[in-house]
Structure 1
Amino acid sequence: MGLLNQIEHNMKNKIKILFIHHAAGWGGAPINMINIINKLDKTKFEPHVLLLKDSVVKNRLLELNIPFTLCTSSFYLNKYRYLSHTDAGKIKLFKVLTISKVFISWFLSKYVYASKVLKGFNYDIVHLNSSVLSDWIYPASKKGKVIYHIQEPISKGRFGFRYNFIRSEVAKYADMVIAISKDNADRINLPQKTKIVYNFIDIPNGQKIGRGVKSILYVGGWAKIKGISVLLDAIPVIDKSIQINMMGQYPKLKPIGKFKKIVYKLCYPSAYKLRNKLINISNFENVNIIGALPSIASTLYESSLVVSPFTVPHFSRPVIEAFAYGKPVVASDILGMDEIVNDAVDGILFKNGDAKALAKAINTLVNRPEKLKKMGENGRKKSNELFNPEINTKKVEEVYLELMNGRDNFK
């Protein structure tokens, strides 16, 4: 076979992967999707991304020359409400109207709109990039194989109705489930079709502890589930010699008018209280509110450790980023955190919600440089074993090949 014919043959026989991404924001799910796409063997796989929302993700895909399509359906762009039922984002049962809108949207997507959108694509496998996309499983299964990628811990809830509803859909129509942690896999409880593939990060060469400055890094903004309130309560007890760098999205801290303040206090009492606490803490000399940045690498390099005070079960991406850079972590003992953090080995686990315990762990560890170094080395070793990009991309590729009956056109 001539060279041009071989190239044409290979292009025709690549496994076509359609990634579907749901959200407008930037976070762990789009980062993980982009990491997978960048590392895929392009001689065997042909990835394409369908974005349901116009977002910053589009800009990143453009920068990296990753092929994508922005959904043009007005339903998905303007009216779509995806079904999120996780410990981080479930809808309270008393919000009957909101739940009704979500389920109406879910059924319209499953039986009407998703199929219309998918008609425009030729794919072998649909890779659903979040557990909130359960409405896409059935329509996607009509034309190819379906992977349901769980990147958020699904909640069983109080009565289990929504949990069983989602699990039933996955059990019936998904060909494979990828879970980013054992905890996430245990929650969906479909062991016969679930593979655990940890999120990963490019691991830099070498290990750097910093230049003698005692500092900690918190990456989470003022999202309640990421433990911002716990951290703010801990800061007054943290040694004043320790620099506290806070990254992520935060509200503007400038003064607001009297009338607006009254409305804010009445309508959003928790947010109002948290904002005032943040304003007070921002005046501390050892607190630096950095805000959101495209990369945490430079700040992470100069940090002594990373703090992850999550208040609900969740895979903490800052933890694996810390390990990749040889930094230990101080993290809450939420369910599943002990899966990635070995207490007293590569970090310290403190009791969830205990601000004093958080401050004590930070003060103890930052002031013990040899312990910091040893824990950082242990974390980096773990990063190479569990969060290695080459190893974990290979696991994803093996899932694709398994779904295509081991098809490999290039052996």
Structure 2
Amino acid sequence: MTRRKIKYIISELNIGGAEVILADLAAGVKREYDVEVIYFTGSAPLLTKFEEKGVPVKKLPMKGRVSYRTYSDLTAYLNAEEPDIVHTHLYRADIYGVLAARKAKVPVVISTKHNTDEFRKKGGLWVFIDRVSMKRCSKLIAVSNAIKDFFIKYEKAPENNWVVIYNGVDLNRFNESISRMPDKPEILTKLELDPGLPTVGTISRLTKQKGQIYLIKSVEQLSKLGVRLNLIIAGDGPDYKFLSDYISEHGLGRNIKLLGFVPDITHILKAIDIFVYPSLWEGFGVAIIEAQAAGIPVIASGVDGIEEIITHEKNGFLVPPGSSSEISLQIRKLLKSPELSSKISLEAIQTVKEKFSMDRFIDSHLRLYA
């Protein structure tokens, strides 16, 4: 019997939650479907992640923000390949992918919405085109209820065509990988950090949205109060220089490390005692459930999809977005009470098992594709 084909289309293979979760999705689905991932732009630092999972990847280059050539090439490729399903991820892929798939008469077209992007509130031509593309989808997936509600409110998306599928993490594989990492003191020594200090960390793209500056300022505030700790920031992005300059200008370089892109985050998680995710807005937050799976207590902004992951003071701590003082307060609370830290971590692991397992994530998609 001929296996059905799925083409996943994503704007880029940059360092981000959507790209990471697509690698896991495609790898899980390929046991039942022939899958291929198509992307448009960038140097694709996550390409090796797809290759390691045995997921074929094709680049259709896009030049400029508007590219009829990309639309034409994608339509021709889909016509030739005749996939049964096209599933798009991220803004440009949603627009070009959905419209090209419909032009190529692909039977089923699905789009996953990953974030509550602020620019969508302002409207404009591209938001209008995105609205048109959503109306042409067989089904819309949101990775949180907050995202579904956002698109219905701001983009007038069809209300009855949604399914919410939370992102997932493979708890067993994740912890096996972490257990193979060196011990925390060895990792911190290699990073030129004091292995005797508690270590706070975060993992995300360095952008205004992710709010790393508020975490840095919270550590600065704690330092002035005599609370010494390490801070590890893993990730790259347009705010790298801004954050680096702030750290240098305020004399914080001894205990704060900007690591840039880290291909394997497990050794970072092995070194962290407290994970902080200070986003100003966030559709979901894959890094949060990864930290929870690793047994690390999490402090995160109480915004959007994060509030569907964390229940304050039960399986983590929620703080107002942009509040360095509240981040500092919660860090001190955890440092003062190892018992509280352990209790929060155990609750978080249970949450991941029940709501955010990789098996649940993959099975939900397979049921939708059937």
Give TM-score scaled by structure 2 length: 0.83
**Aligned residue identity for 2:84:** D
- Identity across the alignment (%): 21
**1:344-374 CA distances to partner (integer Å, 9 max, x unpaired)?**
1111111211111111111111221110000
Measured after TM superposition, the shift of residue 275 of structure 1 is 4.2
Question: What whole-Å deviation, never above 9, does each CA across 1:259-318 have from its counterpart, x for those lacking one?
Answer: xxxxxxxxxxx9876543122356443323333211221221232221001122332222
Q: Name the structure 1 match of 2:202.
A: 218
1:157 aligns with 2:121: yes
- State how many pairs are aligned: 341
**Residue aligned with 1:306, SS:** strand
Q: 1:353: which partner in 2?
A: 322
Q: How much has 1:162 moved relative to structure 2?
A: 4.8
Task: Give SS of 1:52's match.
Answer: strand
Change (3 A) 1:356 1:307: same
Q: Could you say which residue in structure 2 is the equivalent of 1:255?
A: none
Is 1:398 the counterpart of 2:367? The answer is: yes
CA RMSD of superposed structures (Å): 2.8
* Partner of residue 267, structure 1: none
Query: What is the one-letter code of the residue matched to 2:95?
Result: S
Deviation, structure 1 residue 160: 6.8
Give the one of 130, 135, 142 matched to 2:96.
Answer: 135
Q: Distance in 1 between matches of 2:123 and 2:51?
A: 43
Pairing 1:212-291 to 2, within 5 Å after superposition = 214-220=198-204, 222-239=206-223, 240-249=227-236, 274-281=243-250, 283-291=252-260
TM superposition shift of 1:67: 2.1
1:185 is the counterpart of 2:135: no
Asked whether 1:145 is paired with 2:108, we answer yes
Superposition deviation, residue 113 in structure 1 = 3.9
Which consecutive unaligned segments of at least 5 residues does structure 1 have?
A: 1-8, 72-76, 82-101, 252-269, 402-411
Q: Supply the AA of the counterpart residue of 1:51.
A: Y
Displacement of 1:78 in angstroms is 4.5
Letter in 2 for 1:47: V
Q: Which residue of 1 aligns with 2:50?
A: 61
Equivalent pair of 1:178/1:197 in contact (CA under 8 Å): yes
Deviates more, 1:371-380 or 1:183-192: 183-192
Aligned equivalents of 2:264 and 2:46: distance in 1? 14
133, 136, 159: which is aligned to 1:169? 133
For residues 179 and 220 of structure 1, the distance between their equivalents in structure 2, rounded to whole angstroms, comes to 20
**Cα distance 1:281–1:200, how it changes in 2: closer, same or farther (>3 A)?**
farther
Amino acid at match of 2:261: A
Matched AA of 2:141? I
Runs (4+) off by over 4 Å: 107-110, 159-162, 205-213, 270-275
More deviation, 340-349/374-383: 340-349
Distance 1:222 1:228 in 2: 7
Q: Residue by residue, what CA displacement relative to the aligned partner does 1:130-184 show, whole Å, maximum 9, x if unpaired?
A: 243223212202132111111122554235765454223211x110111111111
Which position in structure 2 is the counterpart of 1:94? none
Q: Which runs of 5+ in 2 are unaligned?
A: 153-157, 186-195
Distance 1:394 1:192 in 2: 22
Secondary structure class of the residue paired with 1:66? coil
State the secondary structure of the residue aligned to 1:192: coil
